[in-house]
Amino acid sequence: MAETTRHPMTGNEMSGSAEGGMERHTYDVVVIGAGGAGLRAAIAAHDSGARTAIVCKSLLGKAHTVMAEGGIAAAMGNRWPEDNWEVHFRDTMRGGKMLNNWRMAQLHAQEAPERVQELEDWGALFDRTDDGLISQRDFGGHKYARLAHVGDRTGLEMIRTLQQRAVALGIDVFMECTVTDLFKDGDKVAGAFAYWRESGRFIVFDAPSVILATGGIGKSFKVTSNSWEYTGDGHALAMRAGASLINMEFVQFHPTGMVWPPSVKGLLVTESVRGDGGILKNSEGERFMFDYIPEFFKAETADTVEEADRWYDDKKNNRRPPELLPRDEVARAINSEIKAGRGTPHGGIYLDIASRRTPEFIRKRLPSMYHQFKELADVDITAEPMEIGPTCHYVMGGVEVDADTQESAVTGLYAVGECSGGMHGSNRLGGNSLGDLLVFGKRAGEAATAYADSLGEQRPRVDEADVKAAQASALAPFEVEGGENPYTIQSDLQQSMNDLVGIIRTATELEESLSEIEAFKERARTMVVEGHRQYNPGWHLALDLRNMLIVSECIAKAALAREESRGGHTRDDFPGPNPEWGTKNLVVNLNSTGDGVDLHEKPLPEMPDELKGYFA
């Protein structure tokens, strides 16, 4: 008789006597990732009646969503009744330099308000307006104060609320469990292969629907606000399963990351600092953003200090301060100032809120930032300016999906949140990622359940030969002798991507990066892992590194192909946007030998005329 035990870490049921010591679980929907998108998708799948599992690399509640600070963009109109989904839609499209999938931008703007209200039903405690409604704050690129927030720890509030909801619903969670392969039966998804980090033991999930919610790729860059988990797992899993990625050349460098001390270089400083009145200054004390207002945003940006300062209280009669331009514009401006020799002692520029707001206001609105600078840099942000510089923050590119269902080109495979592509075009507005997670998480969970239901008894089956292959592939790093350690390869890759595929790009450097990536791939083939399978970070990194390498190649290849500058992609040799490139996406797929990527162009989906009117 099969003996059943509970997993000591998670309380999940596992069968110790399963064949080959391998656990096997059957679900309708398996969600990979437990950040905002994964949790929301799992809740939706559960509510639609699916047997649902969440599989995540870290403990529940630790995913990168906790790092989101500013807020959730949703046109609820609590502060500005003039705000509505149409204005939000227009802001989103313009922020993305019109390369967004219009349908995703539309759905997002329409559904975000209800998704935020729902969080409140589940216990979230947002900051309030004077009449008791959810407060909304200003952010870059948003016409009205629109971000629902909790101080500057909105992401924590969101993930805790969703986590507590998922726990209350009794959804199974496989924590500290990493998916390394997807299974297919013909052209349909059949399941996933994973290992427990704790024990190194393998698991097979039989499931007709798999939702990727794995987040981004930032760990491929040296200076990043992203955690170790951000190794492009979902991007790589999707490609290996036959799906395609779009917009991979667009990587968002957040304008304000910490630059000192070295140990926290890249750590995020929330855009709320600027939304709440903070300004940028160079070493000469000049408020330089007025010199960097692009033609595209001239009509809606203040060109004098006086007008900019009046805007915080009177939005009707004044235009926005240039510090609140979309992130790509601000990051490029900061980069130029530093390059021109007007940087701070630690190679950043100054972000000053101390001279603009009272210490009480700052501590109340930006408690985490106050704490972060005090504890990690000995800087009191209520008394002195912060030193900041651009940091790799977000990838706009991701799995190409159907806007309404989030299904990829592979039947049964869905992607939501940062690992999906299209919603944000060439540049994401601050506050639009949290809304994205909620809106499309719910849609994917429901669509994945409907598909699983439609199959009846005719479910795809996992092929045992594929299970064996997945197992061999996961164990391969232990088989090598005398090779290199994965930490060294990872660190060299991060340096290379930072130097050659960073915020400003050129053809020669991108070509160089592609040949360096080839060399890293070669080194990775013989990398060696010490120790055994139980909680072994070296082994985990060796497996993640394969994903980082393929995703890095996608970014460099697409960046080389797009000969223009737009949003999160700036080419020194092709400054400025090119209207011809404004009508197409770059699509990447795994090549036929499975060891590299192919690239092709694809026209953007055409926006219907009634929506075109907003941009006339």
Partner 1 sequence: MTNYLLKLRIWRGDKDGGEIKDYPVEVSEGEVVLDAIHRVQGTQAGDLAVRWNCKAGKCGSCSAEVNGKPRLMCMCRLSDFEEDEVITVTPMRSFPVIRDLVTDVSYNYEKAKELPAFAPPPRDADGKRRMAQIDVERGQEFRKCIECFLCQNTCHVVRDHEDNKPAFAGPRFFLRYAELDMHPLDTHDRRELAQGAAGLSMCNITKCCTEVCPEGIKITDNAIIPMKERVADRKYDPLVWLGNKIGLRSKDYEGRTDA
Residue 560 binds to partner 1 (criterion: CB under 8 A): no
76 or 588: CB nearest partner 1: 76
**How many other CB atoms are found less than 10 A from the CB of residue 33?**
33
d(CA 346, CA 557): 32
Give least dist CB 203 to partner 1, A: 17
Contact pattern for partner 1 over residues 341 through 370, marking x by CB under 8 A: ---------------------------x--
30 or 134: CB nearest partner 1: 134
Number of residues that bind partner 1 (CB under 8 A): 72
| Binding residues for partner 1 restricted to 287-326, rule: CB under 8 A | none
Torsion sign across C-alpha atoms 364, 115, 613, 98: positive
525 or 532: CB nearest partner 1: 532
C-alpha atoms less than 13 angstroms from C-alpha of 328 in its C-beta half-sphere: 29
d(CA 161, CA 66): 11
Name which position in 240, 342, 371, 461 contacts partner 1 (CB under 8 A): 371
Name which position in 372, 382, 513, 547 contacts partner 1 (CB under 8 A): 372
The alpha helices in 202-252, defined as continuous H runs, are 233-240
Give least dist CB 260 to partner 1, A: 7
**How many other CB atoms are found less than 10 A from the CB of residue 579?**
7
| Binding residues for partner 1 restricted to 438-497, rule: CB under 8 A | 485-488, 491
- With 0-12 / 13-18 / 19 or more C-beta atoms within 10 angstroms meaning exposed / middle / buried, residue 3 is exposed
Tokens in use for 318?
Answer: 């004044």
79 or 562: CB nearest partner 1: 79
Nearest to 497 by CA among 180, 327, 249: 249
| Binding residues for partner 1 restricted to 518-547, rule: CB under 8 A | 529-532, 534-539
194 or 267: CB nearest partner 1: 267
| Binding residues for partner 1 restricted to 37-76, rule: CB under 8 A | 58-64, 66-67, 76
d(CA 398, CA 232): 9
Give least dist CB 10 to partner 1, A: 7
Whether residue 254 lies in the annotated active site: yes
Give least dist CB 565 to partner 1, A: 31
Name which position in 286, 303, 375, 384 contacts partner 1 (CB under 8 A): 375
For β-strands 172-174 and 52-55, DSSP reports them as parallel
Sequential DSSP letters for 357-406: S-HHHHHHH-HHHHHHHHHHH---TTTSPEEEEEEEEEE--EEE--TTT-
Which entry of 153, 274, 365, 546 is annotated as an active-site residue?
A: 274
Give least dist CB 127 to partner 1, A: 7
Nearest to 237 by CA among 193, 185, 187: 193
261 or 613: CB nearest partner 1: 261
Whether residue 356 lies in the annotated active site: no
For β-strands 420-421 and 147-148, DSSP reports them as unpaired
What single-letter DSSP state applies at residue 582? G
d(CA 529, CA 480): 8
184 or 265: CB nearest partner 1: 265
Choose one: 5-13, 275-283, 321-329, 551-559; the region binding partner 1 (CB under 8 A): 5-13
d(CA 560, CA 413): 29
d(CA 495, CA 507): 18
d(CA 608, CA 331): 32
| Binding residues for partner 1 restricted to 120-179, rule: CB under 8 A | 120-123, 125-128, 131-135, 150-151, 153, 156-157, 160, 164-165, 167-168, 175
155 or 421: CB nearest partner 1: 155
| Binding residues for partner 1 restricted to 100-119, rule: CB under 8 A | 117
d(CA 390, CA 59): 29
| Binding residues for partner 1 restricted to 583-612, rule: CB under 8 A | none
Give least dist CB 5 to partner 1, A: 13
164 or 589: CB nearest partner 1: 164
Give least dist CB 152 to partner 1, A: 10
Which entry of 46, 146, 254, 569 is annotated as an active-site residue?
A: 254
Helix (H, G, I), strand (E, B) or coil at 203: strand
Nearest to 249 by CA among 450, 510, 541: 510
Give least dist CB 150 to partner 1, A: 7
| Binding residues for partner 1 restricted to 190-229, rule: CB under 8 A | 198, 227-229
- With 0-12 / 13-18 / 19 or more C-beta atoms within 10 angstroms meaning exposed / middle / buried, residue 476 is middle
| Binding residues for partner 1 restricted to 261-290, rule: CB under 8 A | 261-264, 267-268
Give least dist CB 192 to partner 1, A: 22
Q: List active site positions.
A: 254, 274
